[in-house]
């Protein structure tokens, strides 16, 4: 079952709950079926890699893990977190900010 999410890839969001609260970042990927998203610079973990044919030295790499959609909020042009609504403008369905009524 696919859900209709109000956050899309490329949006600038702010984390509103959890250890990373207050952090802003760009949405890199959205997993609609899991209700999660990967945000740039948020929920970064270190992964230890064993040496193999592709990476002979091994080492430690950093990667972003997903965060629940309910813990992030879309940012308006003036930097305020806002809820998102949908409306019809010129026969097109558009997202708009419920705080400032601007089209996103």
Write down the pLDDT at residue 2.
63
The CATH number that applies at residue 23 is: 2.30.30.30
Asked if residue 75 is part of any domain, the answer here is: yes
Number of structural domains found in the chain: 1
Q: What is the mean pLDDT of the chain?
A: 89
DSSP string over 4-59: --S--TT-EEEE-SSTTTT-EEEEEEEETTTTEEEETTSSEEEEEE---SS-TT-E
**Residue-level pLDDT at 100:** 83
pLDDT, mean of residues 81-98: 89
pLDDT in tens, 37-77: 999 999 999 999 999 898 898 899 999 999 999 999 999 88
Residue span of the structural domain in which 92 resides: 12-97
pLDDT at residue 93 above 80? yes
**2 domain-assigned:** no
């Amino acid at each position: 079952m696919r859900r209709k999410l109000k956050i899309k890839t490329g949006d600038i969001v702010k984390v509103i709950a959890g250890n990373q609260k207050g952090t802003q970042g760009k949405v890199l990927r959205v997993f609609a079926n899991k209700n999660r998203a990967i945000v740039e610079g948020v929920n970064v973990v270190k992964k230890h890699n064993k040496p193999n044919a592709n990476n002979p030295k091994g080492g430690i790499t950093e990667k972003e893990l997903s965060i629940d959609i309910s813990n992030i909020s879309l940012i308006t042009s003036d930097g305020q977190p806002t809820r998102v609504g949908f409306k019809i403008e010129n026969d097109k369905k558009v997202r708009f900010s419920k705080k400032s009524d601007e089209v996103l």
